[in-house]
Structure 1
Amino acid sequence: MSSLIPAALRKDAAATMATLAFFFVLTSYYIVRPVRDQLGGAVGSSQLPLFYAVTFVVMLLLMPVFGTLVARFQRRRLLGWSYSFFVACLLAFIPVFMAQDRLGARAIGSVFYVWVSVFNLFVVSLFWSFMADVFRERRAREIFPVIAVGGSAGAIFGPMLTSALVGLVGVAPLLFVSAVMLTIALFLLLRISVQQCAQCEDAEAPIGGSPWAGAKEFFSRPFLRYMTILMLLGDGVGTLAYALTADYVKAHIVTAAARTDFYTHIDWAANTLVVFLQLTLSRQLLVRRGAMWTLVLPQIVNAVLLAIVMIGGHAELRFFGYGVPLLALLMVGTRGFMYGMTAPASNSLYTRVPRETRYKGKNFVETLVWRFGDLVVTSGVSGLTKLGAGLSGITLIGVVGSAIAAWTARKAATSPDLAPEEHRTLPQALDNQARS
C-alpha cells in the first residue's frame, strides 16, 4: 500500500493535509461551477462582458479589504475569516436558488456568476499563498504538483457528485454540500497552520504594510510584471475559448439540463488532463528542469490548439460515436495545461519572493488582474463579432497572444528579483521520482 503513496507525502503530515485540503477546496468549487457555467451558456458571450465587468469592480473594492486583513491579522485568522465568509455566502444562496424559476437565469447569473468567480479566485489564491508560506522552494517543486493532484481529484469528484445529486435533490441543496466541503478544507488548513506555527512563530505574525501593497509590488517587482502579462495573455486564451464555446452552446444546446451536462463533461475531461499532466510531465519538468519550461510549454500548446480551431472552425471530431466540437477540445486543452502545468510552476516561483509579495502581490495578480483580463477578452470577442470578425480571425489573434505569452513565461521564470533557486542534483531528483 505504501508504494501507492507518492514519496513526497510519506512522513510529511503537512503535505498530506494540504493535498486533502485542496481536494475539498476544489470539490466545493466544482459542485457549483457547472451551475454557474450553464447560466453563461443560457445568455451567450454577449452577456459575459457584463458579468466580468461587475466581477472586476467587486475585485477592485475587495482588494484593499484583503490587503488590510493580510497586514493586520495572523495567518490563522485570515484563513478562518476568509473561508468562513464564503461558507456563509454559500448558505445564503440556498433560498435564492429555491426561487430560481421566478428570478430567471439572467437575474441570478448577474449575482451568482460574479460571486462564484470571486469565490474561486480568492479561495484558491489564498490557498497557494499559504502553501508558498509553509514550504520552501526546493520542497515546493516536489510537493506542489502532488498537492495539485489532490485538487484535481476534487475537480473531478465535484462534477461527478453534482451530476449524481442534482437529479435527486435539486440545485439548492448542492450549495449546502459545497459549504460542508469548504468547511472541511478550512479545518485541515488550520491544522497545518497550528503545526507550522509550533516550528516557526514568525510565519504566523501579521505581515504588516499597506493594504495597497499588492498594487505597489506590481510597479516595483519585475517578476510580478511578467506574471501579470503572462496572466493576461495565458489565461486570456482560456477566456477566449470559454466565450467562443458559450456562443456555440447558445446556438446548439437548448435546455438548461443539456447545457449543464455539456459543461460537466468539459470539466471532467479538462480535470482528467490536469491530473495526467501533474502526475507525469509537470513534476518531471519541475524537479529536473525547474519552472521555466513548465511555464513555456503550455503557451506553445495553446498556440497549436488555436491554430487547429482557426483551420477547422466549428467542425466536430468523432469519438466513440459522439461528436466533439473543436471548441470544446480547445477549452479542455487550454484549461488542462493551465492548471496541470502553469499553475504548479508559477506557485513554486512565489516561494522565492518575500511574504508580502506571496500574499498581497500574488492576490493582486490572480484576482484583480485576472478578472480585468477576462473583461478585456470577452469585450473584445463581443466587439469583434459585432464588427463581423469570424472565428478564424479571432483565433489568429489568440495565436499571436500565445506566442508573446511563451516569451513572457521565460522572462518570469528567470526574473532577476527572484531569490536564488535551491538546486538539486540530478541523481537525487531521479531517485525521488523512482521512489514515488
Structure 2
Amino acid sequence: MNKLFQFRQKELPVFLYSSFSFFFILCSYYILRPIRDELGIQTGTNTLPWLFSATLIAIILLNFPFSWLTQKLGRRSLLRFLFRFFTINLILFAVCFRSFPDFVWTGRIFFVWVSVFNLFVVSIFWVLLVDLFKEEEGKRLFGMISAGGSLGAIAGSLIAVFTAEHLPHYAMILISAFFLEAATQTGFRMYDTDFGQGVSSGELDQTVLDNGSLFSGLKGLFQSPYLLNSAAYIFIYTITSSFLYFQQISIFETAFSSSGERTAVLAKMDLTVNAATLFLQVFLTARIIHWIGVTGSLIVLPFLGLLGFGFLSFYPSVIFLICFQILRRICQFAFAKPTREILFTLVSKEDKFKAKNFMDTALYRLGDQCGAWMQTLFGWIGMNSMQISMLGVFVSALWLWNSVWLGKKEKVLSSEYKEEP
C-alpha cells in the first residue's frame, strides 16, 4: 500500500488520522445540511435574506476570537477547544429542538449556525494540516486526504437519506455531534505521531500563528487585477448559487407535501453529488484539467450556468432544477474549485494567506448575502422566476468572460514564472 499511494515510513499514521478526521467532519456536516435546507424552506423566502445577512455578520465577528485563540493556544489545544465548542453547540441545539419543536427562531438560528459551522470547521482543519505537512508531502497526500472527506460526505448523506423520514431533527443532530467528536479524537491524534516538519512535542504546545485580520487581504486584492478577477469569479459563483437556491425553495414548497420528504430529497441530492465528485476526484479531475487546461476548467461552471438558467427561464420544473443543482455542484467540487486553487500558486505568499483568506470567507458569504437581497429586490419590483433565470443567463455570460480572462492571465503568469532563474 505504501508503494501504491507513495507513503513514506513515518507518514501512514498521520495520513490515516487526518483522513479519518476529515471523513468525520464532512460526515457530521452532511447530516446537518439537509436539515438546514429544509428549515430554510420552512422559514420562507422573505426571511432568508435576513438569515444570509446574519451569517455574514457572524462570520466576521467570529474571526476576531478565532484570531485571538491562535495567539493564545497551541496546535493541540486549538483543535480540541474549537471542535468541542461546536460539538457542545450541537448538543444544545438538539435539546432546543426536542424541547421547543415549534419555536421558529430555533430553526432560524440553526440555519445561520450550520452555515458558519461548515466554513470554520473545514478551515480550521486545513490550517492545522498545512501547518503539520511540508509542501512536498502535501502534494502527495492532500488529494487522498480530500478523498477521505468526500467519503465522509457520502456517508453523512446516506445517514440523512435513511433517517430523515424516520427520526426527528434533534436525533439527527445528536448523530452529527457524535461524528464531530470522532473528528476531534482522530484530529487530536495527528499530533501523537512521530511526524510533522520536525516539530517537537514542546513546540506543539506553543501558540499556533498570528492569523491576521479578516480584512488584511483587501490591500493586495485591490492592487492586483489578477486577484480582483479571481475574487469576481468567486463572487459571481455565490450570487448565481443564491439565485438557484431561491428557485429551489420556491419550487420545492409546492412540489413536495411534507418536511420529511423534502429533507430526504435534499439528502439524496447530496449523496449523488458526493458520489460523483469522489469518482471524478480519484480518476478524472487531474486528467481533464490537464487536457482542457485552466481556461477550459474555469469556464465549465459559467457555460453550465448559461444552459441551466436559460432552460429554467422557459421550463422551471422540479426535475430539471434538481439535475441542474446536482451537475453544478459536481462541476464546482471536481473542476472549478481545484482549478481556482491553481490560480493562487502564482501569487505571492502574502496574497495566498491574506487575500485568498478574505475571498474564501468574507467575500464568499458577501456574495450569498448580495444574491439573497437581490432576490428580495426582484420580488419587490415584480420579477417572476422566469425573468430572474434570464438574469442568471446574463450574469453567467459575464462570468464566462471573466473565466476566459483569468485563464489567459494564468497562462501568461505561468510562462513568466518558468522563465525566472
**TM-score (norm. length: structure 2):** 0.83
* In 2: Cα distance, 1:304 partner to 1:383 partner: 25
More displaced 10-residue stretch of structure 1: 33-42 or 381-390: 381-390
Deviation at 1:98, TM superposition (A): 0.8
Alignment of 1:77-116 (within 5 A): 77-104=77-104, 107-116=105-114
Q: Does 1:402 align with 2:399?
A: yes
Q: Counterparts of 1:363 and 1:88 in 2: how far apart (Å)?
A: 27
Of 240, 260, 274, the match for 1:257: 260
Q: Distance in 2 between matches of 1:148 and 1:209?
A: 26
Between the aligned partners of 1:378 and 1:413, the Cα distance in structure 2 is 31
> Structure 2: how far apart are the matches of 1:131 and 1:22?
10
**Cross-structure match for 2:235:** 232
Alignment of 1:11-410 (within 5 A): 12-13=11-12, 14-104=14-104, 107-195=105-193, 196-197=195-196, 199-201=198-200, 206=207, 208-209=209-210, 211-212=212-213, 214-220=214-220, 222=224, 225-284=228-287, 293=293, 297-313=297-313, 315=315, 325-346=319-340, 362-389=356-383, 390-407=387-404, 409-410=406-407
Deviation of 1:369 (Å): 1.8
Q: CA deviation at 1:198?
A: 6.8
Residue type of the alignment partner of 1:283 = A
Structure-2 change in CA distance of 1:130 and 1:111 (3 Å): same
Q: What is the aligned residue count? A: 406
> Aligned-pair distance for 1:53?
0.5
Contact map agreement 1:69 1:78 (CA 8 A) in 2: yes
Contact residue 157 and residue 270 of structure 2 kept, 8 A: yes
Which moves more between the two structures, 235-244 or 203-212?
203-212
Contact 1:269-1:332 within 8 A present in 2 as well:
yes
How much has 1:45 moved relative to structure 2?
3.2
Unaligned runs of 5+ in 2: none
TM-superposition CA deviations, 1:208-250 (whole Å, max 9, x none): 54742x4113313647655433321233333332222111112
Q: Is the 8 A contact 2:133 2:196 kept in 1?
A: no
Q: 1:300 Cα deviation (Å)? A: 2.5
Q: Which amino acid is the alignment partner of residue 339 of structure 1?
A: F
Residue of structure 2 in register with 1:431 after alignment = none
Residues 256-265 or 364-373, more deviating: 364-373
TM-score by length of 1: 0.80
Cα deviation for residue 85 of structure 1 reads 1.0
Deviation readout 1:64-112 (Å, 9 max, x if unpaired) = 22222223432322222211111110111111111353313xx233200
Segment drifting more, 172-181 vs 68-77: 68-77
Structure 1: 5+ residue stretches without partners:
317-322, 422-436
Question: d(CA) in 1 for partners of 2:191 and 2:347?
Answer: 20
TM-aligned CA distance change 1:403 to 1:348, over 3 Å? closer
Counterpart Cα distance in 2 of 1:216 and 1:65: 16
Q: What's the secondary structure of 1:215's corresponding residue?
A: coil
Q: Distance in 2 between matches of 1:351 and 1:192?
A: 26
- TM superposition shift of 1:371: 1.1
CA distance in 1, matches of 2:329, 2:252: 18
CA shift, 1:263, in A, is 0.9
Distance in 1, matches of 2:177 and 2:103, equals: 23
Q: In structure 2, what is the Cα distance between the partners aligned to 1:67 and 1:411?
A: 36
Q: CA deviation at 1:407?
A: 4.0
1:74 to 1:308, Cα distance in 2 relative to 1, 3 A: same
Query: Partner of 2:5: helix, strand, or coil?
Result: coil
Q: 1:218 to 1:127 in 2, by over 3 A?
A: farther
Letter aligned with residue 251 of structure 1: T
What one-letter code is carried by the residue in structure 1 that aligns with 2:282? L
How far the C-alpha of 1:277 sits from its partner, in A, is 2.0
Contact kept in structure 2, 1:60 and 1:368, CA below 8 Å: yes
Pair 1:140–1:20, CA change in 2 (3 A):
same
Deviation per residue, 1:114-143 (Å, 9 max, x gap): 000000010112222233333444543443
RMSD (Å), alpha carbons? 3.4
Structure 2: distance between partners of 1:71 and 1:357: 21
**2:106 aligned partner, one-letter code:** I
Q: Is this contact kept in 2: 1:232–1:369, CA < 8 A?
A: yes
SS in 1 for 2:321: helix
User: Deviations 1:336-369 (Å, cap 9, x if unpaired)?
Assistant: 1222233344457768888887666554332222
